[in-house]
Amino acid sequence: MECVVQGIIETQHVEALEILLQGLCGVQRERLRIHEICLKSGPHLGSVPSELRLLCDLEQAEPSWTVRHIGGAMRGAGAEQISVLVRSMVESKTSKNVLRLFYTLGYKLDHELLRVGFSFNFYRGAQITVTVSSINKMLKLHATDEAVPVTPGIQMVEVTAPAAAETYTEVAAAVSSFCEYLAPLLHLSKPGISTGVVPTAAAAAASLMSDGGGTTL
């Protein structure tokens, strides 16, 4: 399973966010260019629809593929009391002919996206990944070179951390604690809960840009 929160930031403030993340994480960013293909099962594969995501890492010299299944979110009083979403998630590396395989099994293409940006991977009470990316849609099937932004001027920020049934409380606390440092620039919440752009983002970004990220928090 994993703990996850999401938010949005204006593209003009992304450089300031990168400076802040560099100071917080103490690691170099990794470039991100992911072709994401969402597949849905056909009716003959069961009464409960199934959704899979195929992720192709285009930053690699030889593009690598991952298949990911995101399950349901944790429910109940415990889930409501924490500020992050806890959900089941299974993923595995796979070969480049995986798309053909799932088509053969009866899955159908639902939509595809191109995510372009960067990520930070680090340990801060939990193994945390922060991704900042623009979400782009393809005008033609699989035409990643012709992708255009879905929301021009806005980028998605996602913070995730792997967890287990015995550790999700501690991991969720670590993610929540880290997100507090980003609060001047953006608000992160459970996926599906839109909070919009933070009013203090412009002032916070200006401060970070003038400081140049010299202070490590």
The pLDDT assigned to 101 comes to 92
User: Which segments of the chain does DSSP mark as H helices, in order?
Assistant: 14-25, 77-80, 98-105, 168-180, 201-211
Q: What's the pLDDT score for residue 212?
A: 63
18: DSSP letter: H
Per the prediction, the chain carries an average pLDDT of 91
The answer to whether 58 and 30 are in contact (CB under 8 A) is: no
Q: Give the pLDDT confidence of 13-43 residue by residue, as tens digits.
A: 999 999 999 999 999 999 999 999 999 987 7
Confidence at residue 76, expressed as pLDDT on a 0 to 100 scale: 84
Q: What is the pLDDT of residues 102-133, one digit of tens each?
A: 999 889 999 999 999 999 999 999 999 999 99
Beta strand residue intervals within 28-139, DSSP E: 30-40, 51-57, 64-73, 85-94, 108-123, 127-137
Q: How far is CA 29 from CA 8, 50, 122, in A?
A: 19, 33, 10
Supply the pLDDT for residue 160.
97
Residues 6+ apart with CB under 8 A from 22: 28, 29, 120, 213
Render pLDDT for 204-215 as a digit per residue (tens, 0 to 9).
Answer: 999 999 876 544
Domains, the chain, ordered by start? 2-212 (2.40.320.10)
| pLDDT at residue 87 is higher than 50 | yes
Rounded Cα gap, residues 75 and 207, in angstroms = 40
